[in-house]
Structures are given as C-alpha cells and as structure tokens.
Structure 1
C-alpha cells in the first residue's frame, strides 16, 4: 500500500513498506521508480522492513521545481520518508544516483544511517583522470530512451531474457520531460567528495568490473575516502543488484547481525 511523506517544500513523496525487522531504506537511481527494485527488494524483505520510495518527479511523487533538483535535496526527501514511516534510523542501500543521494544522507544526518551500502555509484563525475571518465557514446545510449540501447549497459543478455518482468519494472517510469532533465542534472552535478570523511556508518561499496556507465575507478575512490568502508568488485555491469545473485547475498550478510547471516 502506498503512503506519502511530506517534503520540506510541501511536495508529497510516495513510499511503500514490505517485510518486517530492522528498517532498510532503498534509494533508487536516476529517474527510476520504487518498483524498479523488483526481486532485490523482495529478497531483502524476508529479513528486513524494506522501505522504497519514488523520487520527486517520478511515479506517484510530486514533481516540484525540477530546475532545483539535486542529490542533496533528494536526501532531504529520503529523511522525510523515514520520518513519515516513524523510523529513527535505518540501514541504507543506494544504487547509482541513489548511492549519491545516500552519501549525503549518511554525511549530513549520520544518526539516521545504521549501515550503508553503495552500489554502482560515484562521489563525483566532475573531475578525474581517464580511468574515471565515461565514454560519451555510453551517455548517448543512456539518454536515448531506447531500451535496446540501454539494456546492455545494465544487464547480461541471458538474465534479461529470462527475467522480463524485472527488466520491465526497472525501465518503466512515469515522469515529465522536465523531471527527467532534472534527474540527469542532479546526478551529473553531484559532488560529495569533501563530505565522505563525515560518514560514520560502516559501509560496503559494491561495483561491477564491466560497468560502462560508471568506471570501477570510482568505486575504489569511494572505498578509500569513506572511513569505515570496504569494497566488493564483481564481474558485472551497472544493474548488478538485479542480475548478479552475489549482490543480494553480500548486502544481506553485511546488514544482518553475525548470528543471523546465511
């Protein structure tokens, strides 16, 4: 059942809860709705109280002023969701742009984050050497809106063919053009480099070695900059939280108390 939080500017942020246990907030990527978590959220709901939400401008959430979107503002929306759910502190998992949002949440509101998982994300895309730069052709594929061009950036072909519902859920979005532009700009302009040292939560950085959207050098920089972080590199692409079973197992084991780990 969908509920609504009220953001600082009065916009409504749609969220849902599944499962029971220690709260776990999932923060989705750029222009991705809360149902895009699909089987990843379902698997974690067996052990946690999973909370998912639509970023402003996406799905059932209000749009607000898309020209003012930023990852830091999205983090404030995430806090509003925790408040509406009555959650003082939660584990937080962010994928791609959601990982950028999660960085601000953990740095600015450290008391709200128990443990932090950052999947396929960056501290910034605005600087760095060749190993950190995206191929312009990859960006063009991402912005094309053509699923046939985007799908190979995220998923292995065999997995995608075997899991059409999960693929549809991930790529389905309800958003205006201004909101889509606002999401892209927020993600592109993210720079939390100077804030990472403020993150107190034990952190796990997970990244695919074949991630064309986000070169793996970014993950290594994140893991080095966050005080209590470790890095898991996998043979995977950008959508590894869905098509790589090792990811959900690693997240579960990292978040569960030692005696409950599988």
Structure 2
C-alpha cells in the first residue's frame, strides 16, 4: 500500500527556512539526499514507507528550497543542521537514517556525533568509503574551474542526470527541471564548492575525514545496511569492499544494472530490503 504524497512545505529552524516533507505515523525514518540534490530523490521511498512509518525528508542546507547556513558548509555543519531540523519537527528519539551519497556521510556523521538520535543506518551508494569519485566532482575543487562548471544550463543538467542513472528512462524532463531549479538558487554554487573543497581535492575524496568517520561509526553498536548499484558512475561499487573491511558487522547488498540511486531505479526492491532489515531484532531495539 502506498499513499499520495503531499507537497513539501517549510520549517523554520533557528531563523532559517528548511524545505521538508513529513508523512505517516510509526517509527521515524529520515531520508537524506546527496550533494547538489533535493528531497525529491526520495519521493518514491517516502510514498512507500509512509503507511507504516513517520517519514521526514529534508533539503539539506543550501540545497533545493532550504536556506544556506551562515557558517561554511561542511559535513559536521550539515549533520548538526539535520539534528536541529529533527528537533524542531518534534523527532527527538532514535530514528532510522537513510542517506544517499553525501546524505550517507551526513547520516554517519550524525550517528557518530549524537548516537542517541539514531536507531539504524541505511547507506545508499554512500560517500566516505573510498577515494574515487566522478571526475565531474573532482574538477569542482579546482579554482576557478569550479564556478564555470556549475553554471545552470540544460545540457549540463541533462548530462549530470544521465550519469546518475543506469537506465536512461529515469532521465526525465521533470528531474532535469528540478536539478536546474536547484542550481539556479543564488547560493547554490557557493554551497556546492564549499562542500566539495571541504571533502576532497582534484585527486579525490580526502582520507582524513573518511578515516575518522568510519572509525567512529565502527565503534557504535548500531545496525547498518549498506547498498550499492553495480553501475554507479559517481562512486564506484567496489567501495563495498571497504564497507566490509571497515564495518564488518554491516549488512551489504549490490543491485544489478543500477546506477547511483537504487532508491529510484529499484524502488520496490529497495523498499522490501530496507523493511526486512528494520524487522531484524537488532534494528528493532
């Protein structure tokens, strides 16, 4: 059973506007999107999960319809902002965190910084497990090339969407339009560059924050599921080997013929897998 999604609305968090969508009732689930993206990347999962869960999806600070932070946009700053948004929305107890790409790293950071807020982690093609990342993001770390590459242009948006999905049928005009609208926000390029340059260089993702974060997450007594698409062009699927080495108690799953967003390309399978994971005794504590 699914329900029709209401439009996203806005929450005021410490005087800053945050775009969010909240539906359903039950155990809380928080859905976190990737860099340069919006909560719309979780629309299908939001609809599937809402009959049995209290589901909240957010535009991260400076993304989509959410205002930017006053401070620089870094991984700890995003995690703290998510915690503030959850408190303002009345979600103060443990929640299942589901994060795609950058959203996975934000979820891990939040779990490491405030473990009482987290019931489990579902990491979807998550940042943080390896150095390799698409050349498009690495080039953003180069000045002044970064701002040039972030110009909002239909051809650039279409190319980016095409890199995200293995099946080109998911590269719809609606998704391209959403990406363009997000890129046209006056602060979008600044936020993107701050994040990219804090997390990596033109050589790839910095090891320092990855090592510290994975060590902190490995020390938590927390149920973790990590999934990947085998045709991911953004963060390669062989990062799953690092998951198994660094988080040996985590469950893993590889989706066949799937790109960077299994929650969209394999929506029903993803939903079933996540629900089965949450039904396990360790995830229901």
Band of TM-score, shorter chain = 0.7 to 0.9
RMSD: 2.8
Q: How many angstroms apart in 1 are the aligned matches of 2:162 and 2:45?
A: 19
CA positional deviation for 1:64: 2.4
Question: What number of residue pairs does the alignment pair up?
Answer: 248
Q: Which residue of 2 aligns with 1:18?
A: 23
Q: How many angstroms apart in 2 are the aligned matches of 1:170 and 1:47?
A: 30
Q: How many angstroms apart in 2 are the aligned matches of 1:59 and 1:156?
A: 24
CA positional deviation for 1:102: 0.6
Q: How many angstroms apart in 2 are the aligned matches of 1:168 and 1:240?
A: 21
Q: How many angstroms apart in 2 are the aligned matches of 1:167 and 1:240?
A: 18
- 1:229 corresponds to 2:250: yes
**TM-score with structure 1 setting the length:** 0.82
Q: Give the unaligned 5+ runs of structure 2.
A: 1-7, 141-145, 201-205
Instruction: Give per-residue Cα distances to partners, 1:192-245, cap 9 Å, x unaligned.
Output: 233222332200000111112111232321243235311101121112210113
- 1:243 corresponds to 2:265: yes
- 1:183 corresponds to 2:195: yes
SS of the residue corresponding to residue 253 of structure 1 reads: helix
Is contact 2:32-2:57 (8 Å) kept? Answer: yes
2:37 to 23, 32, 38: 32
CA positional deviation for 1:171: 6.5
Higher relative contact order (CA 8 A, sep 6+): 1
Q: Which residue of 2 aligns with 1:43?
A: 48
CA positional deviation for 1:121: 1.2
Q: How many angstroms apart in 1 are the aligned matches of 2:62 and 2:139?
A: 22
Q: How many angstroms apart in 2 are the aligned matches of 1:187 and 1:252?
A: 31
Q: Give the unaligned 5+ runs of structure 1.
A: 127-132
Compared with structure 1, are the counterparts of its residues 186 and 240 closer, same or farther at alpha carbon in structure 2 (3 Å cutoff)? farther
Q: Which residue of 2 aligns with 1:83?
A: 87
Q: How many angstroms apart in 1 are the aligned matches of 2:60 and 2:137?
A: 24
Q: Which residue of 1 aligns with 2:160?
A: 150
Q: How many angstroms apart in 1 are the aligned matches of 2:230 and 2:167?
A: 16
Q: How many angstroms apart in 2 are the aligned matches of 1:171 and 1:248?
A: 28
**TM-score with structure 2 setting the length:** 0.76
Compared with structure 1, are the counterparts of its residues 199 and 219 closer, same or farther at alpha carbon in structure 2 (3 Å cutoff)? farther
- 1:212 corresponds to 2:233: yes
Single out whichever of 170-179 and 193-202 deviates more from structure 2: 170-179
